Amino acid sequence: MGLFDSAEELARKANLKKLEDRRVAFAQKLARQGFAPEKMLFAQNDNGGFTALCRTGGKYWLVISPGFGSDDDFVLESYDALDWRVEEVLVKSEGMGGIFGFGKKGEMGSEFFIRRHDGSEARMPFVSGRGNWMEATLSKNPLVKTQRRRGDANLVWDMKPLDRTQVERVVEIAKQYFQ
């Protein structure tokens, strides 16, 4: 076996292929329904998936992706009004603030929770040091592209890490989607 042919690497590649297959099928379903939002906000979740939110056609639309390696499918839900709450997150840095691997970097930001139709909550964390985010216009939205992405790329790879200098601006952008 070569360096990149380990069992774990083969499983990872198979998971990426399955995830991209599901994303393409979901994008084709969205295209058939005429779902083409001008802008969409994405936040990566702890499970390797994401939650996305947009407003189009007078409704709010929530997209929840499967976590990496799970057998779940993409979910699209519409809402006339959102039932949501936001929690501030502040975790102080410890030790040397993560420098040279000593201590913890710390986290700050906000986490949005959206009550879903089934009573559960979808999470959209915008927290520095923890997650990634993206605001995509229709022409740059990788979720709605019906073509296969090269190399079975995971959509979360397009998201940007959130650092402390951006937190306030990103949280303000997020609040605009919720109003």
Domain residue limits at 88:
36-138+160-178
Structural domain contains residue 1: no
Structural domain contains residue 4: no
Residue 29's CB is within 10 A of a number of other CB atoms, namely 13
**Closest Cα to residue 63, out of 156, 179, 148?**
156
Structural domain contains residue 63: yes
Residue-wise pLDDT for 65-82, tens only, equals 998 888 899 999 999 999
Structural domain contains residue 165: yes
Structural domain contains residue 173: yes
Structural domain contains residue 3: no
Structural domain contains residue 24: no
Structural domain contains residue 20: no
- Helix or strand run (H / E) with residue 64: strand 59-64
The residues near 45 (Cβ < 8 Å, ≥ 6 apart) are 51, 67, 123, 125, 131
Structurally, how many domains does the chain consist of?
Answer: 1
Q: Can you give the pTM of this predicted structure?
A: 0.88
Residue-wise pLDDT for 25-70, tens only, equals 999 999 999 999 999 999 999 998 999 999 998 999 999 999 888 8
